Amino acid sequence: MFKVLVVEDDVETAQEIIEEFTSAGLEVRHESTGPEGLAQARTEAFDVITLDRMLPGLDGLSLLDALRSAGVTTPVLVLSALSSVDERVKGLRAGGDDYLVKPFAAAELLARVEALARRGTESRPTLLKVDNVELDLLSRVARRGPRVLDLSPREFKLLEFLMRHAGHVVTRAMLFEQVWRYRFDPGTNLVDVHIGRIRRKVDDAGERPLIHTVRGVGFMLRAVD
Amino acid sequence: MPWTELLRTTAFRWTFGLAAVLAMSILLMAGFFYWQTVVYLTGRIDTSLLSDVTHFAEVDQAEMPARLTAALASDPRRRKAYGLFDREGHRLAGNLPYQPSPLPPDGRVAQMKVMSDRQNQNGTITVRAAAVRLDNGNLLFMGRIADELQEIEDIVTRAMLLAILPAVVIALLGGALVSKSALRRVEAVRRACLSIMEGHLERRLPVRSKQDEFDRLSEIVNRMLDDIERLIAEARGAGDAVAHDVRTPLTRLRVRLERALRSDLPPAEVAPMLEKAIVDIDALLTTVTAILRITEVEQSRRRSNFGSMDLDEIVEAVSELYRPIAEEKGVGFVVEREPAPGVNGDADLVFEALANLVDNAIKFTPPQGRVTLSLGRSGEEASVAVLDTGPGIPVEDRQAVLRRFYRGDSSRSKPGTGLGLSLVAAIVRLHGFTLTLGEAPGGGCAAVIAAKAEGIAPS
């Protein structure tokens, strides 16, 4: 079970976040001012911190700066109403690990927080394996059972991302940002089409489907038990 | 129109300056004329005087008095002032009562005043004169009255006054006329402006066909007014369009939720209704996000993310992202890349613009159709074109679809916000590029972005 520190001064937003996290089984600690948040983050170990940029007492970026200077490496997700690219870059440069613009869907935040929390624990293997799908990150070869999957470099990256988060939901925005590195709303069904293509390559007729659509949120690669 | 207002005009102040310059040049001209005339006349007097002196110096000394008297007698205009004086300065002959002094007896011509016996003068007259000492010790003095010089001076002064006064008066009158016409035009512009400020945004400043500086200014202002009128109309239309785009799905959503609330429905039927409601809400959110995005790009005056862009790389990335979408729909996707000049800009935004154009092209192209993304050079510009074989955009809609939040009727049936082109237009405007919508071979839409090569200022 992950432990999350939520530093958020807006009562309604905080309540929404806490509800979503709690119902997903996360342990949540909430602080509503900058100084309190900083003190909490320095004295207790957390898996992830979500940090509002505008906080009373000490703004989010200064808090982040102080935290990193103190040697705390806990992954931080910065929440902000400021959406421009510059602000995003500022947030990430100050030591943030992810940046989410308000207003956001609670499911999107949860997926990102869980991904950040897992990142702290995951190893960096050269071979990824889920069910009978194998991804050799050195030779860039993908296999399902004996069958070699014919993937383009981008499709390989996409599958790699899904496998690294196997068993967990990844949102369309996460995929678009982290597989393609783009930061705009691609609209329509762009990500779905790309997923559809690798799904057809991975899940051959008669095989157990591994790539699932999680309605309203995103996708999940999961071994069937 | 009060006179004081006339005096304040630039034109009239310039006229004053011009009149002063005019008077000054007339003065200079007259002065030069006077000076040259005097030099010429003096030269002529001196030459004839010197020849007289030479002539008389050779005359027999004894005959001298008689010859002088004769010469004076044959001078009806009494212009000559001759005198012969002995060593002691006593007059021997001539019309000068006293020996003039001090004139060195060296035969050179000088200007001086002498006593005269002429009754109509006040005793002294101004002469050009020369004197020589004769062999017997007598002094021969020969002078000529130089009053022509005075006359010339009078004539020139009179002429000058006669020329300057009318010239200045004419210049000032002309200036007043010009100023008055300038004031009339200012008044016309002022009235037009007042009327525009009262809300008649369609009014324009008067422009005549003469293309003078007034017309050029007015034309610039008129172009500015065109822009303002367009922006205001767009802002008005935008509000309507947004409200309309939001109201329809909201209404549908409301109906759906109401139906789901009905207690007699089995839970199995409620769930899909709620799911559809969420889809509706997502569509609404997408529209609102797109509107905010356009506003964000439009208001971004800063170009901090600008830098050298590799259009080739961007085109490649766009095609990689969208080729599967086209293939999925059964639309051919062709990429043509020619070497293009480097361009300055925000690579992320330009990618977003191209992505939108390609997304639109695929959306509106029927299966079996083709979308072409091409990069090339035209003159000093890099040009990126997106061509499709869809229905194209009607000529009368081509300007409108680039406007803020405009959505053609035909696009209402398609998924998406219909705001893609507005966003592309905003990005293109931010960069100072141009976006042209035309007809592609085969009747589809051709969208072309032209970007000035790096180092060349956008016009």
Q: In this predicted model, what pLDDT tens digit does every residue of B444-459 receive, in sequence order?
A: 899 999 998 876 554 4
Average pLDDT value for residue range A103-108:
86
Distance (Å, whole) CA B237 – CA B280: 24
* A&B contacts, CB < 8 Å: 53
- Which pLDDT score, from 0 to 100, does residue B139 have? 84
Measured between CB atoms, does B321 come within 8 Å of chain A?
Answer: yes
Helix (H) or strand (E) holding B12: helix B10-57
B263 Cβ neighbours under 8 A, 6+ residues apart: none
User: Does A86 sit within 8 Å of B305, measured CB to CB?
Assistant: yes
A8 Cβ neighbours under 8 A, 6+ residues apart: A14, A17, A30, A32, A50, A52, A79
Average pLDDT value for residue range B226-245:
78
Q: Is the ipTM of this complex over 0.85?
A: no
Exposure string (b/e) for B107-118, b if CB count within 10 Å is 16 or more? eebeeeebebee
- Which pLDDT score, from 0 to 100, does residue B458 have? 47
Shortest CA gap B12–chain A (Å): 55
CA neighbours within 13 Å on the CB side: how many for B344? 13
Which segment of A191-195, B42-46, B120-124, B217-221 scores lowest on mean pLDDT? B120-124
Shortest CA gap A103–chain B (Å): 10
**Cβ-Cβ contacts under 8 Å, B420 against chain A:** 187
User: Does B300 sit within 8 Å of A84, measured CB to CB?
Assistant: yes
B416 Cβ neighbours under 8 A, 6+ residues apart: A187, A188, B286, B359, B363
Q: Does residue A188 register a pLDDT over 60?
A: no
Measured between CB atoms, does A83 come within 8 Å of chain B?
Answer: yes
Q: Does residue A26 register a pLDDT over 60?
A: yes
Interval B57-96: pLDDT, tens? 888 878 888 888 888 888 877 788 888 888 887 888 888 7
Measured between CB atoms, does B436 come within 8 Å of chain A?
Answer: no
User: Does B363 sit within 8 Å of A215, measured CB to CB?
Assistant: no
Measured between CB atoms, does B323 come within 8 Å of chain A?
Answer: no
Interval A91-105: pLDDT, tens? 788 888 998 888 888
Per-range mean pLDDT, top range of B236-250, B271-285, B304-318: B304-318
Shortest CA gap B436–chain A (Å): 23
User: Does A184 sit within 8 Å of B348, measured CB to CB?
Assistant: yes
Measured between CB atoms, does B306 come within 8 Å of chain A?
Answer: no
Of A184, A188, A193, nearest to B324 by CB-CB distance is A193
How does residue B408 score in pLDDT terms, banded at 50, 70 and 90? Answer: low
Number of Cβ within 10 Å of residue A186's Cβ equals 19
A183 Cβ neighbours under 8 A, 6+ residues apart: A85, A88, A177, B348
Interval A112-160: pLDDT, tens? 999 998 886 667 788 888 888 999 999 999 999 889 999 999 999 999 9
Helix (H) or strand (E) holding A50: strand A48-52
Q: Does residue B133 register a pLDDT over 70?
A: yes
- Which pLDDT score, from 0 to 100, does residue A221 have? 92
What string of DSSP letters covers A108-122?
HHHHHHHHHHHHHH-
Average pLDDT, chain B: 83
Distance (Å, whole) CA B428 – CA B448: 11
CA distances from A147 to A31, A139, A212, B366 (A): 51, 16, 21, 35
User: Tokens 């020139």 sit at which residue?
Assistant: B156
Of B296, B321, B416, nearest to A187 by CB-CB distance is B416
φ, ψ (nearest 5 deg) of residue B441: -55, 130
**Cβ-Cβ contacts under 8 Å, B275 against chain A:** 215-216
Distance (Å, whole) CA B393 – CA B442: 13
Number of Cβ within 10 Å of residue B253's Cβ equals 18
Average pLDDT value for residue range B185-200:
88
Helix (H) or strand (E) holding B157: helix B147-197
Q: Does residue B4 register a pLDDT over 80?
A: no
Q: Is B371 helix (H, G, I), strand (E, B) or coil?
A: strand
Contacts with A, B 52-81, CB within 8 Å? none
Contacts with A, B 343-372, CB within 8 Å? 348, 351-352, 355, 359, 363
Distance (Å, whole) CA A72 – CA A113: 17
Shortest CA gap A216–chain B (Å): 8
User: Does A197 sit within 8 Å of B286, measured CB to CB?
Assistant: no
Measured between CB atoms, does A84 come within 8 Å of chain B?
Answer: yes
